[in-house]
Amino acid sequence: MTDSLAPIVAQHYNKIEEKGLEERKQSRILYMRNFNNWIKSMLIKEFTEKIRDEEKKYVLDIGSGKGGDLLKWKKGNINYLVCADIAETSVEQCQQRYVEMKERHKRQRERGQCFDAEFITADCTKERLKDMYKEPDIKFNIVSCQFAFHYCFESIVQARRMLQNISECLKPGGYFIGTVPDAYDIILAEEVDLELLYCKRFEDYYEEKRKVQEGQFLLTKMQALETYPPMHDNQKLMGCDDDYFAAQQKIKALLAEKEQEPIYVGTLSQAEWEVFCMYCVFAFVKKEKEEK
């Protein structure tokens, strides 16, 4: 048995190749991936709006991977981003993606400023990030950990190190946000002066955010839902027809309400929906220091 899962995890993520747009479109989990991205967009938007009036907006992204959230942070108008991940190749690709994004911003003379950034390769469950920042006294407004927090639960010592990394440079009143497959253990965060604001199942968060104008707009723009029934002959369903029972019921209900055919609904196959429903979004706020 190996002592630690870290090398296996890092190797796994290092090996995953960057796929082109066309190849990604062929993926069996295309919509689930887009849907997860939509959830993260809504969460990042919710919390970058809360810090909108701060003069400087600093963010730490733990387990940042290949930089799938860089654009979301750009849209959130932050000033500085620290990306940390255990997988060296992912960190390199993340940095490359950031450089391209910044160049595009300049070339296309997009509005505002593109944030500055630094990139750290580290096992965030074992190493102290504060010793690695360019500016060790940096204070973050938001710490984000998307689909990566569960890796710290290999041992309680690692969980505590991760939580220390999350909390020690987070400003009082700053936010710790993330997405996890199982919410039971996140409550440990209360040990490091973090107070739980909420923890919601993806399906509930979806219900809440799809009603908001931006949420509705992004659902379409990000292709977060599959159209049922297929609109064109060349649109192939991700699952078999039985996998779309919920969509079929919805169409029946709409017909009963006298909507005219053809009716198309946005949905996910049953298999993708079941995986999606295992996840939660959460948000903590760092407690203000008590007066002595």
List residues near ligand SAM by CB under 6 A: 6, 9, 13, 63-65, 68, 85-87, 90, 123-125, 146-148, 151
54 vs 168, beta carbon nearer ligand SAM: 168
Question: At its nearest, how many Å lie between ligand SAM and the CB of residue 234?
Answer: 29
Flag whether 239 is marked binding. Answer: no
According to DSSP, the β-strands at 140-146 and 58-62 are: parallel
> Which of 25, 36, 68 shows the shortest CA–CA distance to 281?
36
Flag whether 85 is marked binding. Answer: yes
| Residue with the CB atom nearest ligand SAM in the bound state | 65
270 vs 248: CA distance, rounded Å:
12
88 vs 288, beta carbon nearer ligand SAM: 88
Q: Locate tokens 């996910």: which residue? A: 268
58 vs 244, beta carbon nearer ligand SAM: 58
Q: Contact 133/43 with Cβ under 8 angstroms?
A: no
85 vs 243, beta carbon nearer ligand SAM: 85
Flag whether 40 is marked binding. Answer: yes
Question: At its nearest, how many Å lie between ligand SAM and the CB of residue 236?
Answer: 26
Q: Contact 151/125 with Cβ under 8 angstroms?
A: yes
Question: At its nearest, how many Å lie between ligand SAM and the CB of residue 213?
Answer: 25
74 vs 267, beta carbon nearer ligand SAM: 74
13 vs 202, beta carbon nearer ligand SAM: 13
**Which residues in 86-218 belong to E strands, given as ranges?**
116-121, 140-146, 170-180, 194-201
Question: At its nearest, how many Å lie between ligand SAM and the CB of residue 94?
Answer: 9
Question: At its nearest, how many Å lie between ligand SAM and the CB of residue 67?
Answer: 8
Rg (alpha carbons) of the chain, rounded to whole number: 20
Which CA distances in Å does 36 have to 40, 53, 61, 155, 252?
A: 6, 28, 17, 27, 28
Sheet holding 280-286, edge to edge: 116-121, 80-85, 58-62, 140-146, 170-180, 280-286, 194-201
Question: At its nearest, how many Å lie between ligand SAM and the CB of residue 72?
Answer: 10
Flag whether 182 is marked binding. Answer: no
Q: Provide CB contacts within 8 A for 48, sequence distance 6+.
A: 57, 73, 75, 76, 77, 78, 142
> Which of 74, 58, 68, 152 shows the shortest CA–CA distance to 108?
74
Annotated binding site for S-adenosyl-L-methionine: which residue ranges? Answer: 40, 63, 85, 123, 146, 151
Annotated binding site: which residue ranges? Answer: 40, 63, 85, 123, 146, 151
